[in-house]
Chains A and B, each alone.
Chain A
């Protein structure tokens, strides 16, 4: 089953065309990696999947993006869409409040009020993000006191707390040290059993370590999309080969 089907997607920021005729799909319970040099449109594509691009003035989209067969630029309420498609950003961005309130913010947004249900959601999400043991004694303390890696796992927990179907990650480890990066990669491999994951990464080793499918982007175009193994061992396109072998980018 595909969670996302993208057909003839074009995107403009004002007059600049950032994405050109993208056609791809992402399968359920897999990790799909989007790679490519800076400015190739991979983050832009990620942001069209939960319509975060709506916030950018002058952004225009044509074509269709379907989430489980439903066009997300059609009648779907954008807040419902973002509940179903969670997102984790490049820089950890916990809210300036306690660990507990950070995680509870999402469920509260979607109407969960009972103390018991909130406690449970907080504990389950923190456990799922493999950070429960580190923060269980400091749930009431500010989330900004955590280390960068912990903050990023907290943000993953926060995204999981609204029970999304898909998790979008925009270079989630680029601001972290190798040990924190390792922990997050391990976590993602565990999470893919329950969630479909789409990750933008700058780091090709990361893509080979964790992803099942890889799409290579260049200058707003999708050059090649195949299983990660194929992309890195026998790419069909010369440009993909040049990039994955480190000849540019």
Chain B
């Protein structure tokens, strides 16, 4: 039963993700957190793992969630689910390529989908921001008096600067964030 649920959940995610990568975050968060398969915090942690390993985010997260909830067969079901919609649709498109390219309907839908993806990633930024800065996703003012908040803020600001202005590789950003986290954690006894 869990295997079928994994397959169907990731099939739906694969079918409705346009633009790839982080465009699928709100869909993944919604499905995976609601079902209790992963917490928001675990998803953020996994994004880091996915950035530091080869392969697309979609495959990485479906394989991981599948493994955690249904073992290796679960991983196969979830990954197959996320791949299948693309596979089928591309086969159809490849057959009637010219029709697809000139289609007004496709162009029209894309006019709405491109900005929609931006709004969706924006919402993922908000929810991940809450996860990063507020422990247990509880928004309280008391967090501003606590040290971990300011350490997170400092790491975030530095990472943003280096990724946007210096175009530093994501893997280096993640590795340095980890090192700062470890040093701060042990030095300050968080």
The answer to whether A and B assemble together is no
